[in-house]
Amino acid sequence: MSGTFRVAPEIHFGFGISGQTGALVRSLGAQRVLIVTDPGIRAIGMCGQIEQTLTAHDIAFTIYDAVSPNPRDYECLAAAELARETGAEAVVAVGGGSPIDLAKAVAGLATNAGTALDWVAPRTFETSPLPLIAVPTTSGTGSEVTRSAVINDTARQIKVSLRDWTIAPRIAIVDPELTLGLPSLLTAATGMDALTHAIEAYTCRRATPLSDGMALQAMRLIGPNLPIAVADGSNRVAREQMMLGSTIAGMAFSNADVAAVHCIAEALGGRYDTPHGIANSTFLPWIFAHDAPADPQRHADVAVALGVAAEDDEPGYAAEQAARFLVDLGRTIGIPRFRELPGIDEDDFPWIASASVANLSNASNAREMTEADYLSLLETAWNA
C-alpha cells in the first residue's frame, strides 16, 4: 500500500479569522496584490472587509471582480493581464469556487505565457506562479485547499481542468462567519457539491487510505448539518460544521478524485451554465445507486457515515438507504429537478454523454461508465 497526500500548506479556520488576511498576506512578503472576486461578493461588502485588513497592513491592491459563476478562459486572461500591469506579488481570492478557481489560473498566467487552455492537465506551469491566498465565502468547492481549477473553454462550450500543486493556495483562510448571510438555495447547492466531493472521493477508484478518513468525516459533518444550515442560515454551529466539512472534503477529493457525478455536472456547466452544485445534486443519487454494486461495502460505509444505516446492515441494503436519503435530501433543501433546469434540451443528451465520457475523471468512477450508461442515467434523472 502506498500513497501521497498534499493540501494547502497553511489552513486557518474559525469565526472571524478572515480579519487576519492582511497579516497573513504580509507573512508571504507581498506588498501589492490582485484581489479576485465576483460582482455579488463585492456588492454585499464582503470584499470591503478584506480590503480593510489589507490596508491596515499597508498592502496595496487592485480588484478584478468580473468572475462569472462558471469562470471563463477570457476572464483568466484579463485578470492575469491586470496582475502583470499592476505588479501584483500575490493573488487574493475572495468568494466561492469560481473566483478561487479563476485566481489559480491567474496566479499561473501572471508568470507564464499563453491562456488557461494552454495549461490544462496533465501539463503544469513552467515558471512558479504567484502565491495565492484563498478566502472562501461558501461551504462548497473546497477549492481553498485543492490544486484544481475548472475553467470554461468558451469556444468549445466545455469545462477543462488545470491540476497543478503550484497553483494550490499557499494560505487558506476559512471563516464560517462569511457564510452566515448566504441565501438558502446557494447554501443548498454548494453544500451538495461538498457532499458530492466527499462521496466521490471515498467511492472512486482513486480513493486512498490517506483520503478515506477525511472523506468519511466530511460526510458525517455535512449530512446532518446541511438541512439545518439551509433552514436557518444564522445557525452558527451548522455553518461552522458545514465549512469544516467542505474544506475536509476538498482535501479528500484533491488527493483521490471526483467521478461520474462531476463528469456530468461539468458537461452541463460548460454547455448551459448550470450552477455546479445544482448539477451535482441532480445526479448524485442516481449515480450512487448505479455504482453501488461495483463496491457494496464502500457504498454501505457512506450510508453509515450519513447516519442512515448501521454498521451491521447488509451492504446492499445500506447502500439503498443512502441513495434514498440523497434523493430526499435534495428535495428537502429545495434543489430543482433536472427537467426544471433552464435550457436543457433532451436532444442534447448524446452530446452530454459524450462530454462526460471524455472527462478526465470518468476513469475514476467506481463502476465503468460508457456513453450508453450516461444516456440511461440522464433519462432516469429527467424522469425522476
Q: Which is nearer to Fe ion, 193 or 295 (CB)?
A: 193
Give the span between the Cα atoms of 244 and 48, in whole angstroms: 24
Tell me the closest approach of the beta carbon of residue 152 to Fe ion, in angstroms: 14
Tell me the closest approach of the beta carbon of residue 173 to Fe ion, in angstroms: 20
Q: Which is nearer to Fe ion, 217 or 246 (CB)?
A: 246
Q: Which is nearer to Fe ion, 194 or 318 (CB)?
A: 194
Q: Where does this chain touch Fe ion (CB under 5 A) — which range of 107-115, 188-196, 304-312, 337-345?
A: 188-196
Tell me the closest approach of the beta carbon of residue 193 to Fe ion, in angstroms: 4
Q: Do the strands 158-163 and 148-153 form a parallel or antiparallel pair, or are they unpaired?
A: antiparallel
Q: Which is nearer to Fe ion, 24 or 284 (CB)?
A: 284
Q: Where does this chain touch Fe ion (CB under 5 A) — which range of 79-87, 168-176, 193-201, 346-354?
A: 193-201
String of b and e for 110-137 (b: at least 16 CB within 10 Å)? Answer: bbbeebbbebbeeebbeeebbbbbbbbb
Tell me the closest approach of the beta carbon of residue 200 to Fe ion, in angstroms: 9
**How many residues would you count in the chain?**
384
Provide DSSP, 264-319. HHHHHHHHH---HHHHHHHHHHHHHHHHGGGSHHHHHHHHHHTTSS-TTS-HHHHH
When asked if residue 144 is in the footprint of Fe ion (CB under 5 A), the reply is: no
φ, ψ of residue 211 to 5 degrees: the values are: -100, -20
Q: Which is nearer to Fe ion, 262 or 290 (CB)?
A: 262
Tell me the closest approach of the beta carbon of residue 136 to Fe ion, in angstroms: 13
Cβ atoms of 36 and 94 closer than 8 Å: yes
Single residue of 73, 193, 200, 240 touching Fe ion by CB under 5 A: 193
Q: Which is nearer to Fe ion, 175 or 193 (CB)?
A: 193
Q: Which is nearer to Fe ion, 28 or 185 (CB)?
A: 185
Give the span between the Cα atoms of 279 and 8, in whole angstroms: 27
Residue number with the smallest Cβ distance to Fe ion: 193
- Residue 258: which residues within 8 A CB-CB, separation 6 or more? 196, 197, 200, 201, 204, 361, 364
Q: Where does this chain touch Fe ion (CB under 5 A) — which range of 190-198, 240-248, 291-299, 340-348?
A: 190-198
Give the span between the Cα atoms of 255 and 1, in whole angstroms: 15
Tell me the closest approach of the beta carbon of residue 239 to Fe ion, in angstroms: 19
Positions touching Fe ion (CB under 5 A) are 193
